[in-house]
Chain A
Amino acid sequence: MHNLVSALQPGDTVPNGPLPDGSTLFERRGRPIILAFAPTEWDPAQAHQSAIFARLSQEFGSGVAFAEAAPEAWHSLDYRGELAIHLGVAGQRALLLLDEEGVLRWKTVVEPGQDIRPGQVLAALQALRPEPLDAPDLAAASTEVLTGGMSRRTFVMATLAAAALLALPSVVAAAPETALPSPPPTDNRSAMLPVELNINGKSHRLQLDPRTALLDALRENLHLTGTKKGCDHGQCGACTVHLDGHSALSCLTLAVMAQGKAITTIEGLAKGDTLHPVQAAFIKHDAFQCGYCTPGQIMSASALLADQHTRHGSAVEIREAMSGNLCRCAAYPNIIAAIQEAQRA
């Protein structure tokens, strides 16, 4: 299955090959091009894909939001077709991005049973991003160069490609939330266990090492990285989540033991775009600096406000009840103010 061409790495020049409209890759040089191989059609013009595009550009920035799309560069290709075979991705969902010189800038092959994850795509994009400019001058700036060495167009294409990947319905449907396939169990004690976690109202089936802490399952397996690791030993509170509505430390919870519990993470606290009152109050009162302890603080504060024993606490009671969430930036006075604001709300 792996022929020579599949060893193509980003930075390599892609050999020529036929495109469905009769043209060839070489003829297409001068414009960036996306080669998307899939069982179903990918279409960046689709509404749900453009919504994700908008989100991506917001998160990723870099002026992407101001760029217009160029659908001509988009080639939806049969994943069993000639070019797929030629490029060594036959039968696989794959996405290749070639820049105007025909150099491969990004390649993603989605292995069977694997899922494309937003973080992965973002990381790939980030890596594609600016390359050092040797001689930044106005002439260059005023033509194509936007974010560095990569041309604006190539970069826009990359973003589009990312958007499409994320929105790929077949991927989502085919392989729900499962992570990488488990390696062959060489030691039966560390054999993978099927684990089902209910997170933010959604059920996730995973194959996990029994040693996996809920925190690592969230961050490493599910890429819900809002929950933070600050010590891994119950000593900082950064990993606070809600288990059945009560605050708990995900670093000291084995993922297998969290089965059957309703797990809420920071990602599940807001209602869509509407922030939880504690989240809004944190912004208003500047209740964080680096932001790393913040999800944990917010999870603790929101649980505290939902708990009859602590809900109406005065400042001194908040001080005591929130002491399990360390903030090295010491935004504490502002956190107290934010909680008091949410108390009043």
Chain B
Amino acid sequence: MLTEATGQPLDRVDGRLKVMGGARYTAEWDLPGLAYGALATSAIAHGKVRTLDIKAAQQAPGVLAVLTYLNAPRLQPMPEKVGGTLFRGEGGITETLQPLQDATIAYAGQPLAVVVADTHEHARYAASLVRITYDEAKPELDRATASRQTLPEAFTGSKEEPLQVTVGDPRSALAAASVKLERVYESAITHHNPIEQLATIARWEKRNGADYLTVYDTTRGVDTLQEVISASLNLPKDNVHIICPFIGGAFGSKGWLYAPALLTAMAARVVGRPVKIELRRQDMFSTAGQRGATRQTLSLGATRDGKLTSLQHDTQAQTSMVSGYTEPCARVSRMMYAVPNLGFAHHLSHLNLPSPCPMRGPGETVGGWALECAIDELATELNIDPVELRLRNYADKNPETGKPFSSKHLRECYARGQELIGWAARNPKPRSMREGNSLIGYGVATTMYPAARREASARATIFADGHALVQSATHELGNGAYTIFRQISADALTLPVNNVRFELGDSALPKAPTTGGSATTATVGPAATAASEAVLSALKQLAARDAKSPLFGASEEAIEARDGRLVRKANAAQGETYAAILKRAKLPSISAEGTAKPGDEREQFSFYSFGAVFAKVRVDEASGSIRVAQLCAVYDVGRLMNPQTARSQFIGGMSMGLGATLMEATHYDARNGRAVVRNLADYHVPSMADTPDILVEALNIPDPHISALGARGIGEIGCVGTPAAITNAVFHATGQRLRSLPLTPDKLLKALAS
């Protein structure tokens, strides 16, 4: 019997391509006749275009066309919903502004013209020649005074994610509590900044007399993009083909904002040649999505011995004028602790800033930070060990819905994490530990991630030479999709991993949802299994009908697949290889599709991953510099499909959380709403020098309810929890509570001075 591939630390199957520079990312498709597009964007944040002078640009060398709202192809409005996800309205996920349709300006950096030229250099230069004048209106840039403020009902329209909830009576319970704590936490605007910039190549052609559009795009939602483009351009869906075999990182971007892709398609249509638009890094700060800033108020009521009696988490979120996206900050608060009176609310202010969208751990990363800092503050207040306080409020069922958790082993996470970091050696007194110039601090936070699962399909094909191919329109963005789905498929087909390929990133493949929400493994894994089982079932029927087969006449149930053969369950010696069956039937291959979706287990259980994160920091008080010496985390995420790629995901998430904690912030000019930070020299993402020693363990206990694979997702949980662990460690080191992310030296110095 083959050992199962799933659960093995298989090296990435796309590794060789990636280390040799052979993996082809979007901007790298070389289409004959390719032309280059460049954007001219709005200098103001609010108002209208008064004049657009494109003459100089048109006359510049190599220019093929200049598109503006005056001459660009017309687009249909952004759909109301795509694939069940709310697009428009309060709580909707996407920017609804369709590019180049009118003169209105909702934010600075909004594309106002596309210049297409024969070379990259010509296009960029000509774009700089577009002259725009404006009728400027005063931009709204302040959350508190914004004229459009709303209370969105639900995140992305999902009935599972109401944004305004009250369980019990948190206000009265707070008033009655013997210990009360009310704190305000603020977080800055941050940007995903994947190293691969957004890019699209679009090509139009006639197929059978009809318009046919091929789009290479840095998208983690080939099917969603296909729907958006076909709806916007009024094309049949089958005439839009989206291709993206490799994504250079997304982290929440590259999924929900469509202007760059639509602009490229429009430009290609106008010039009658394939066009490529690669955003500049500067443009990524206005057209690629962001995490909006938040202001969160946490009100905790507790007994003297640390039992929470009331928890209220209110968020002031912000979005653009053309999106209803709301950072769902209470995602952790609503489920983490056993508290009888629980409430949360989300206020949304519409500003003249670029549109936000999900960013790794949407809601959880900054909302969980606020909650877990508040819990730490309560621990200090009550003089209880922060881990102990969390254990005293351990929830065995979801406090909002009352449903039991499908699988929860958080106690083990706390216990093991304490060992890893050496919690026992921590002097609980703040400001009590030192090494050289540095103050030392230890901090802890709980982390979680909702274990979502959606519907997906896959197709499996077995070839007459015994190899197999499994395909699904999912994505490889560093999550290891090529690798783990090959492992899962190989097991389902009982073939060695090397005999199975997995393909993705193409809208022509069986449907899969946008890759996000840490749901891909739990979603596409079962689909790959279902497709594999379907093709095996077809093969069984084929063999059973074939008089020459040793399986002739057997019922499907009496046959099983084993090591690349179909055999009789009763007598494994009676059987033959897949190849033999196909060859005799003169079939080059056989294939079948399978679909998998969650069932009513979702009604019975509450599905979450859990973890405990511990941080050790060094603080140089004189300069306000904070360095993380060590991060330790123990996760309970169900069964690991591949411990090696899983570890990488954890580490990557934790580092991104570290960045959000210590250095990441995008500033917009408070007067005119232009991004002041708009490059990677001013926007600091963690470098190798900022990355601590990281110890990660996963309990690897299968979730009995999520799917037969027992795997929950792992993409985002690392990002959640880390910010609070570090912030709490900084408090332990310095005795200062910093309640505004990121914890840059200026803020620490200010706190220390007061």
Contact = CB atoms under 8 A, between A and B. Distances in A.
Interface of A: 9-12, 59, 61-63, 65-67, 103, 108, 117, 119-120, 122-124, 126-127, 129-133, 136, 138, 141-143, 145-146, 148-149, 152, 180, 183, 185-187, 190, 209, 211-212, 216, 219-220, 223-236, 238, 265-267, 269-270, 275, 279-280, 282-284, 286, 288-295, 298, 318-320, 322-336
A209 B121 contact: yes
A283 B12 contact: yes
B31 A124 contact: yes
Nearest to A216: B120
Select the residue from A65, A267, A279, A289 with max chain B CB neighbours within 10 A. A289
Interface in B459-501: 459, 461, 463-465, 467, 469, 476-480, 501
A219 B28 contact: yes
Contacts of B280: 232
Given A67-B588, A129-B508, A330 B205 contact: no
Interface stretch (B206-214, B289-297, B362-370, B731-739): B206-214
A230 B685 CA distance: 13
Given A190-B61, A289-B480, A322-B688, A220 B589 contact: no
A168 to B, nearest CB: 15
B196 A142 contact: no
A290 B691 contact: no
Contacts of B196: 228, 230, 290, 292
A333 B691 contact: yes
A138 B592 contact: yes
Given A62-B503, A209-B119, A230-B195, A290 B15 contact: no
Contacts of A270: 20
A59 B121 contact: no
B436 to A, nearest CB: 15
B21 A130 contact: no
Contact of B14 (A265, A291, A333): A291
B424 interface: no
Interface string B549-591: 0000000000000000000000000000000000001011111
A220 B22 CA distance: 15
Contacts of B28: 119, 219, 223, 225
Select the residue from B18, B25, B209 with max chain A CB neighbours within 10 A. B18
Interface in B185-209: 192-197, 203, 205-209
Given A275-B19, A289-B652, A124 B32 contact: yes
B20 A142 contact: no
Given A120-B31, A291-B23, 14 more contacts: A67-B588, A136-B593, A141-B461, A141-B589, A141-B591, A216-B121, A219-B28, A226-B20, A229-B278, A234-B681, A236-B680, A289-B652, A328-B685, A334-B648
B197 A332 contact: no
Size band of the B side of the interface? 35 or more
Nearest to B457: A136
Contacts of A132: 238, 507-508
Contacts of B601: none
B467 A66 contact: yes
20 contacts: A10-B206, A11-B212, A59-B17, A120-B32, A123-B216, A126-B243, A127-B31, A127-B214, A132-B508, A136-B591, A141-B591, A142-B587, A230-B196, A230-B680, A286-B647, A290-B476, A292-B194, A328-B656, A331-B652, A333-B694
A329 B19 contact: no
B688 A289 contact: no
Given A119-B30, A136-B459, A209-B121, A319 B688 contact: yes
Given A220-B120, A283-B15, A66 B205 contact: no
Contacts of B60: 187
